[in-house]
Amino acid sequence: MTVPDPILWGALAAIAAMAVATYLCRISGVVMMGFIPLTPHVRRGLAALPGSIVVATVLPLIERLGLAAALALLAAIGSMVLRRSELLALMVGMGVVSVARALGW
């Protein structure tokens, strides 16, 4: 028995496949960690994980996005150190990147 090619509803099947794949990504980390005992090693690893995800996401992006992006992120971090406000940091960062890009950096 063969499955007919998904011609008429292929787009919907593709979207459904994407949805399933993404939902599995969303739950699998939580599910897997439920089977791993929280030994001191695992606890330390989990404690280091959020910052590691943040740095591992941002650094290569800066490299890809260029100097203006690097300046914007530094300015935003500086603003966050001085005032713990995400909104202010976001405005500072976007202001810096707009100016830097307008200058052609």
Partner 1 sequence: MSSLQELPPRTLRPVLTWNGVFLGARKALVLIPGLVVFAVAFGAAASAKGLSLLEAVLMSAVVYAGVSQLVAIELWRPEWSWGAIAGLAIVTATVNARMVLQGASLQPWLAPYPRLVNALHLFFFTDANWLIGTRYHADGGRDLGVLVGAGFIIWINWVLATVPGYLLGSLVADPRRYGIDLVMPIFFATMIVPLWRGRRAAVPWIVAGIVALATAKLVEGYAFIITGALSGALVGAFRDDRA
Query: Please, which of residues 27-56 interact with partner 1 by CB under 8 A?
Result: 27-30, 32-34, 38, 40-56
By CB under 8 A, tell whether 103 contacts partner 1: no
On whether the CB atoms of residues 94 and 72 are closer than 8 A, the answer is: yes
By CB under 8 A, tell whether 67 contacts partner 1: no
DSSP-derived 3-state class of residue 82: helix
Among 57, 103, 104, 105, binds partner 1 (CB under 8 A): 57
Total site size for partner 1, rule CB under 8 A: 74
- Among candidate residues 95, 54, 103, 57, the one with its CA nearest the CA of residue 76: 95
How far apart are the C-alpha atoms of 56 and 71, rounded to whole Å?
A: 18
Among 1, 67, 80, 105, binds partner 1 (CB under 8 A): 80
